[in-house]
Structure formats: C-alpha cells, structure tokens
Structure 1
Amino acid sequence: MPIHFKALPTEPVRALQRGGPDAYGYMPELKVSDGDGVPCRHCLKNIAAGQGYLVLAYRPFPKLQPYAETGPIFLHAEECERATEDEALPEILESPDYIVRGYDRGDRIVYGSGGVIPTGTIAERTETLFGRGDIAYVHVRSARNNCYQCRIDRA
C-alpha cells in the first residue's frame, strides 16, 4: 500500500513565518540554528547552521479535544518550499527511532496503535496500521520528546 509523508500545510506556516501567533496565541521565538537537529516541519529538511528558525507551539489537529496534543516544533524563519508528498523517508527523520501512532477519523488516538519504531521500518509499520479499519492517518513523533515530526496518509 503506497503511503505519503506529509509536511505542514503552507498557509498556516506562512502565517507563522510572517509573525502570526502559535497554537497558544504567542509569537514564535526567533533563534539561529547551530546546524544540529533543527528540523523544519514544512520543508522536512534540517535548518542549516546560521539560518534563522522559529520555535513555536503547534497543534496538528483541526480542533481542540482531549487527544489534540500541542507541542514545540521548528520552522525556517524565512519562507521555504513545502516538501512534496511522497513515500520517501523525509530528511528530518534521522534519529534511530520514532513514535509511530495511529489516529481515527475523529482525530483520536487509536489505542494499541502506537509504539517506538526503528526509523528504517516506519513505512512498514504504517502499512500494517493502515491494514486496520480504524486508522485514518498516522503521526511520526520524536521518541525522546514526543515532538510532532510529520503525518503519514494513504497515497
């Protein structure tokens, strides 16, 4: 089953890059990358040393509800191109493992779907989850800090 890794949509990212408030109503913090582990969730590439980036609270769900986790993410401070949706593992997924967790059509965690998965088997695990009838999409999150990385949908 083909899958697509999906970056954050461009419209809300541009609003943040232009000074709009984050999920908590605060202005994103501006930092300068040291080039070590600063993954942009829009282009799905690491932010190079010396480049500006934003730190902000992000909620990858359409509305507030008990399972709508909000957490910190990074974005390029300057506009970047959104990553194409395809089945290739995004550049930012360079840790040895990640949390891979399924959500239903109501944007609720599907219990029993989550686990810490070796990076090289994320696609295989996602295809297994999509074989179930109750998984609408999958999140990839940091295994160490639970930070949102990207979404995976059926192609």
Structure 2
Amino acid sequence: MADTFQLQGLDPAFFQPLFALDDGELRSRGIVRRFADAADTYPCRVSLGEAALGEELLLLPFEHQPASSPYRASGPIFVRRGVPLADLAPGELPPYVTKRVISLRAYDDAHMIVDASVAEGADIGREIRRLLGRADTAYLHLHNAKRGCYSCKAVRA
C-alpha cells in the first residue's frame, strides 16, 4: 500500500521573531521562554522533533484551528529557536509522534469533526490512513492525548 499521508509542522517564520523579544515582552503576550531541562520531553511543533537538553524554546498559545466553526480552538505549544520546518516523507512517523498516545481528529471541508480516535505507536499510521480514507475527511489534527496539546496536521500525500 502506498503511503497516503504526510505530517506537517508549523511555519517557523511565524515564531522565530518572537525569540528576539525580552522575557517581559513575551509575558505580555502570554509566552514563556524555556530551556529544555530533560531530553525528549519538549516536542517542537515546527520541526516535529524533540528539544535537546538545554535547548531554548518558547511555550505559547497557538490557534491551531482558526476556522470559523464550532471547533475553533487554541492551546499551548512548544517551538524551538532556529529550527527548519519538518520535511517528512509521505508516511513517515517520527518518534515525536509514535512515542506518545495521540488523539486524531478528522475534519471535513467545513472544518467540522467527522470522526476521531486515539492511537499509540505502530497503530497511529493505520489510524491516519483510515481517517484520511473517508471521503468526507479533508485533513486531520493530531493532539497529544495526555495533555491535549496540538501536535501536527496530517494531509493526503
């Protein structure tokens, strides 16, 4: 079976100028500067990878579902300084995703949820394919199920 999906990170151009702000300016925007105090615990929504020990990140509110729909939503995300946008191959699932329990939400063209599920590890790819296999699914949002934070978007490859 050909891989039918691709994960997408967030555009770094939106976030990188924020790193130049001082901590007071960040606080006024609801943003907090962090330095990773443990490896593999700070998932970056741009690179779809984990921050290394000591790496600088911003924790900020992000409107991951900006559509005019009852499902309009925002939540906290981490982004790392100076990282490129994730460039994943179709069907590629990085450890950023597979080591977590993931909530998958399928949206239609009107940005309404048409299906949802929870999966972990090797089952995540199968669930992405199943949900994108629905004729009414336009795209998926993946969330970290335990904390509920937005993780990334999945689209048809």
TM-score normalised by the shorter chain: which range applies? 0.7 to 0.9
Match of 1:35 in 2: 38
CA RMSD of aligned residues (A): 2.1
Superposition pairs for residues 58-73 of structure 1, below 5 Å?
A: 58-73=62-77
Q: Deviations over 1:75-96 (max 9, x none)?
A: 11x2111110422112312434
Tell me the SS of whatever aligns to 1:114: strand
Q: Is residue 133 of structure 2 the alignment partner of residue 131 of structure 1?
A: yes
Tell me the SS of whatever aligns to 1:93: helix
Identity of aligned residues (%): 28
Unmatched 5+ stretches in structure 1: none
Match of 1:75 in 2: 79
Which 4+ residue blocks in structure 1 deviate beyond 6 angstroms? none
TM-score, reference length from structure 2: 0.84
With over 3 angstroms needed to count, the CA separation of the structure-2 counterparts of 1:152 and 1:49, relative to structure 1, is same
Tell me the SS of whatever aligns to 2:146: coil
More helix by percentage: 2
Please tell me whether the aligned partners of residues 7 and 85 of structure 1 are also in contact (alpha carbons under 8 angstroms). no
More strand by percentage: 2
Unmatched 5+ stretches in structure 2: none
Aligned residues: 149
Which has the larger Rg? 2
With over 3 angstroms needed to count, the CA separation of the structure-2 counterparts of 1:64 and 1:26, relative to structure 1, is farther
